[in-house]
């Protein structure tokens, strides 16, 4: 086990959005191992989040709809009441919808955009406000290979993640003066719940395009994020952890 954070009385607090998902859960556990007190966000699966909270040393579940500004605002206020500070946000909350553009309904498109893009905006807006009260922090947004290369049948998802990348890089410029770093991580195609719900063809394509001919590993991604969280000199970067070259 590696140790990234200094041992002192100062509590370092992370919020993991989408902690009840496969990747979010791995990230939360890894951050806990290196010393973070972890706020575990979930929206639709509180039982899974509560189970996860029982496996880490300092964790608490917060339920919120990330697409709702008021809901996210209340969650950030709850984190402040819980620990009085916020040092890290890892935004792994996301949804997808696999369908050709002509078969994608407006409601389905809006749902993807509202969760993946508007949700990130809400987390940055209200999370950064709390970070500014302290000594800064970092926001890490989970984007996707499809944001840069596109994918047939994933137009809504690709659009949301491409916009998320632009939002993140703009936020990095705006928030640098407040000692808040903003970075983007592309984790690769993984067999988490979202990956398993994708079509067989999508899974085959992801492996065939990967130079290493394999899926991404959630635990490896979580370890990378824990290491990135400790680095105070990196901001405005996109890290591709995918074996598919950009």
pLDDT of residue 28: 97
| Pairing relationship of beta strands 88-91 and 59-63 according to DSSP bridges | unpaired
- Kindly name the residue from 2, 145, 157, 215 that is annotated as catalytic: 157
CB atoms within 10 A of CB 166: 13
Question: pLDDT by residue (tens digit) across 195-206?
Answer: 777 778 888 888
Instruction: For residue 43, give Cα distances in angstroms to 38, 105, 120.
Output: 16, 23, 14
Chain centroid offset of residue 209 CA: 24
Task: Please state, in angstroms and rounded to a whole number, the distance separating the CA atoms of residues 75 and 72.
Answer: 5
Residue 10's pLDDT band (cuts 50, 70, 90): low
Q: In this structure, what are the phi and psi dihedrals at residue 16, rounded to the nearest 5 degrees?
A: -105, 110
Per the annotation, the verdict on 2 as an active-site residue is no
Domains, in order of start, for the chain: 12-190+217-232 (3.40.50.720)
Question: pLDDT by residue (tens digit) across 194-241?
Answer: 777 777 888 888 888 888 888 889 999 999 999 999 999 999 999 999
Residue 6's pLDDT band (cuts 50, 70, 90): very low
192: left (phi over 0), alpha (psi -120 to 50) or beta: beta
The count of residues in the chain is 246
Lowest mean pLDDT: which of 56-65, 163-172, 196-205? Answer: 196-205
Asked if residue 48 lies in contact with residue 74, where contact means CB atoms within 8 angstroms, the answer is: no
pLDDT of residue 9: 39
Task: Please state, in angstroms and rounded to a whole number, the distance separating the CA atoms of residues 112 and 105.
Answer: 11
Q: In this structure, what are the phi and psi dihedrals at residue 95, rounded to the nearest 5 degrees?
A: -135, 165
């Amino acid at each position: 086990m590696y140790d990234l954070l200094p041992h002192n009385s100062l509590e370092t607090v992370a919020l993991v959005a989408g902690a009840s998902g496969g990747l979010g859960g791995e990230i939360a556990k890894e951050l806990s191992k290196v010393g973070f007190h972890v706020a575990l966000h979930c929206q639709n699966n509180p039982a899974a989040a509560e189970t996860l909270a029982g496996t880490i040393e300092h964790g608490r579940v917060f339920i919120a709809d990330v697409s709702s500004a008021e809901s996210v605002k209340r969650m950030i206020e709850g984190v402040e009441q819980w620990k009085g500070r916020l040092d890290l946000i890892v935004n792994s909350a996301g949804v997808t919808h696999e369908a050709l553009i002509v078969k994608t309904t407006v409601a389905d498109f809006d749902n993807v955009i509202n969760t993946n893009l508007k949700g990130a905006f809400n987390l940055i807006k209200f999370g950064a406000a709390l970070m500014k009260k302290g000594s800064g922090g970092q926001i890490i947004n989970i984007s996707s290979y499809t944001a840069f290369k596109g994918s047939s049948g994933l137009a809504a998802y690709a659009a949301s993640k491409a916009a998320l990348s632009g939002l993140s890089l703009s936020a990095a410029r705006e928030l640098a003066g407040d000692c808040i770093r903003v970075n983007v991580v592309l984790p690769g195609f993984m067999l988490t719940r979202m990956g398993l719900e994708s079509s067989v063809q999508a899974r085959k394509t992801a492996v065939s395009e990967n130079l290493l001919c394999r899926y991404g590993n959630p635990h490896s991604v979580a370890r990378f994020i824990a290491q990135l969280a400790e680095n105070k000199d990196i901001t405005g970067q996109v890290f591709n952890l995918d074996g598919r070259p950009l």
